[in-house]
């Protein structure tokens, strides 16, 4: 297996400089594994303090928009990102199927497929009962099978059962894999459409997007030549830049915040 090649300090400086010189900059970021280290209990995940500070400063900088673009439901994303009522950070949840914009009151849309979602979620829960370390997360447009705490054989067993259920009952649902998670959703939006929508909404000429996971590659693939795509950690990626972990990304965002504020 070849070693992962991280971007050199000069490469990082070049990316920061390019993003900082945008007329209007959109900084769109995945949450889990990108701003917040991965943890066993999803609702206890929190941004690194350095990442939080950088985002706060970026959101206050002129002609700069910050957004979190996550697979989390909007409700969970608001909670774990500790959104304040006057937050200037846009949220895109459920992989781009729901949005919250600063100043808005209502959080999200209803799910037309709620009956099917509830039925399949309950059946999925029954199917993984007794599989150690496997559990089902309820999501607005579907559900996710978590296997972070399961051994590999149990994880594969649980995934095979859930795959069979959805193939039989909801073959039109979108299937996604992630960090020890297998997710299904009735909605097919992706992080690519979320970034596109945010870019148009704020009129950004440059987008910075960073992510650590397969679903983030949708957004990274959708970036243009003038944008800055960053992969956090290992794994295959189309991103032009790569940093080792959430701490390294937080440092890069801190430098971008300084440059954008003209410091
Ligand atoms: O798009 P993201 O913001 O990266 O969200 C992807 C999924 O994140 C959560 O699961 C992942 O993070 C958990 C907390 O660190 C971890 O326990 C789990 O193994 C990871 O898969 C979340 O629970 C999912 O709903 C998101 O889709």
- Rounded to the nearest angstrom, the distance between the alpha carbon of 21 and the centre of ligand 1 is 32
Judge if the beta carbon of residue 180 lies within 6 A of ligand 1. Answer: yes
Name the one residue in this structure whose structure tokens are 């594969």: 156
**Residue 228 main-chain phi, psi, to 5 deg:** -125, 110
Q: Which of 263, 223, 253, 45 is nearest to 148 (CA)?
A: 45
Classify 63 in phi/psi space as left (phi over 0), alpha (psi -120 to 50) or beta: left
Per-residue pLDDT tens listing for the chain (263 residues): 467 899 999 999 999 999 999 999 999 999 999 999 999 999 999 999 999 999 999 999 999 999 999 999 999 999 999 999 999 999 999 999 999 999 987 655 666 689 999 999 999 999 999 999 999 999 999 999 999 999 999 999 999 999 999 999 999 999 999 999 999 999 999 999 999 999 999 999 999 999 999 999 999 999 999 999 999 999 999 999 999 999 999 999 999 999 999 86
Task: Delineate the domains of the chain, giving CATH numbers in brackets.
Answer: 9-109+189-260 (3.40.50.1000), 114-185 (3.30.70)
H helices, E strands: number in the chain: 8, 11
Q: What is 147-201 written as a DSSP string?
A: -TTS-HHHHHHHHHHHHHHHHHH-TTSEEEEETTEEEEES----HHHHHHHHHHH
End-to-end alpha carbon distance in the chain: 42
pTM for this structure? 0.96
Ligand 1 lined by 178 (C-beta under 6 Å)? yes
Q: Is the CB of 42 under 6 A from ligand 1?
A: yes
Query: ipTM more than 0.90?
Result: yes
């Amino acid at each position: 297996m070849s070693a992962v090649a991280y971007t050199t300090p000069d490469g990082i400086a070049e990316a920061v400089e390019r993003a900082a010189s945008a007329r209007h900059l959109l900084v769109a970021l995945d949450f889990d594994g990108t701003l917040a280290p991965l943890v066993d209990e999803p609702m206890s995940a929190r941004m690194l303090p350095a990442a939080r500070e950088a985002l706060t400063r970026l959101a206050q900088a002129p002609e700069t928009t910050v957004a979190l673009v996550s697979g989390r439901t909007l409700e969970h994303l608001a909670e774990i990102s500790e959104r304040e009522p006057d937050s200037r950070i846009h949220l895109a949840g459920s992989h781009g199927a729901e949005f919250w914009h600063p100043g808005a009151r209502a959080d999200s849309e209803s799910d037309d497929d709620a009956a099917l979602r509830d039925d399949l979620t309950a059946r999925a829960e029954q199917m993984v009962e007794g599989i150690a370390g496997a559990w089902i997360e309820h999501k607005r447009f579907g559900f996710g099978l978590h296997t972070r705490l399961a051994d590999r054989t149990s994880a594969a067993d649980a995934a095979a059962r859930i795959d069979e259920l959805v193939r039989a009952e909801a073959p039109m649902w979108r299937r996604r894999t992630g960090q020890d998670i297998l997710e299904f959703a009735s909605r097919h939006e992706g992080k690519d459409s979320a970034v596109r929508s945010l870019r148009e909404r704020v009129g950004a000429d440059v987008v910075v997007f960073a992510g650590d996971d397969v679903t983030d590659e949708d957004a990274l693939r959708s970036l243009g030549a003038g944008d800055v795509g960053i992969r956090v950690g290992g794994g295959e990626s189309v991103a032009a830049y790569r940093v080792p972990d959430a701490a390294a990304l937080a440092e890069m965002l801190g430098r971008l915040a300084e440059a954008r504020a003209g410091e």
